[in-house]
Amino acid sequence: MIYLLRFFILELKRQSADRHSFLSISLFFLIFLSVALYAFQSEGILSFSTFAGLVWLCILLSSFLALDFFFEQDEQSGLLDFYLTAPISLAYFIFCRSLSIWSFLFLPLILISSFLAALLGFTEVVVFQFGLSLVMGSFILLSYLSVIAALLVGVKQTIYLLGIVLLPLLIPLLLLEMNLAQILQVGEKVDAFLWILGGISIMLASVSSYSAAWVLRKSKE
């Protein structure tokens, strides 16, 4: 456990070297979302479910901009080959890498989204529960991205195109999040949806690192 924590801290330091790139993605997210919100609000049709849908659309677009941060840079530098032959589990490396990317990519987007939700006048309970759903949903999305990034190692020219083509795999997550947003909008309890999201996120977080590790090893055989 201590070794895993040290490895995670090392990954945080490595990702901090790309903080300007992550900042650019966050700015893209903020600008895109702000323009979309202004357009809907000016038409008087900005409900909470519309807001949640716009947030998730912007998060998906922003996350695909970060696919290179998973393994592509390590592939180009040769560091990925080192991890493949190192006497440690490759899944540990992938788990720490994914968690560090979540800290620099998804956490700022969640904070920005929650701040905007509060700024738009939604209640504290709605903002809090929406933030929880974003945290759980972002871990599901992160698990998906880690496997996709492993599949796309070495095909940088088409990495974004293939990522968008594989976007339909996220439709169940989007439907679940939109149903949750509609329930929040009418003021009903969302405990069941949050438990479902939490269970799915824990399950995928446990499995995705090993799946991505298997894909990477197969791609190098």
Residues 6+ apart with CB under 8 A from 51: 37, 116, 117, 120, 122, 181
pLDDT at 123 exceeding the cut of 80: yes
Mean pLDDT of the chain: 79
pLDDT band at 121 (very low <50, low <70, confident <90, very high): confident
Cβ neighbours for 187, distance < 8 A, ≥ 6 positions apart: none
Q: What is the mean pLDDT of residues 135-147?
A: 87
pLDDT value at residue 206: 80
Residue 110 pLDDT: 92
Contacts 24+ apart (CB under 8 A), 164-171: 164/64, 167/60, 169/144, 170/60, 170/141, 170/144
If we measure between CA atoms, which residue out of 220, 68, 24 comes closest to residue 158?
Answer: 68
DSSP 13: H
The answer to which of 62-76, 86-100, 200-214 has the lowest mean pLDDT is 62-76
For residue 84, give Cα distances in angstroms to 68, 91, 186, 187, 213.
18, 10, 50, 50, 9
Per-residue model confidence (pLDDT) at position 162: 57
More confident site: 161 or 10: 10
pLDDT tens-digit readout, 172-188 = 777 777 777 777 766 66
pTM of the predicted protein model: 0.84
Q: What is the 3-state secondary structure (H, E, C) of 102-151?
A: HHHHHHHHHHHHHHHHHHCCCCHHHHHHHHHHHHHHHHHHHHHHHHHHHH
Q: What digits encode the pLDDT tens for the residues 144-162? A: 888 888 877 755 545 555 5
- Determine the residue type at 197: L
67, pLDDT greater than 60: yes
pLDDT higher than threshold 70 for residue 46: yes
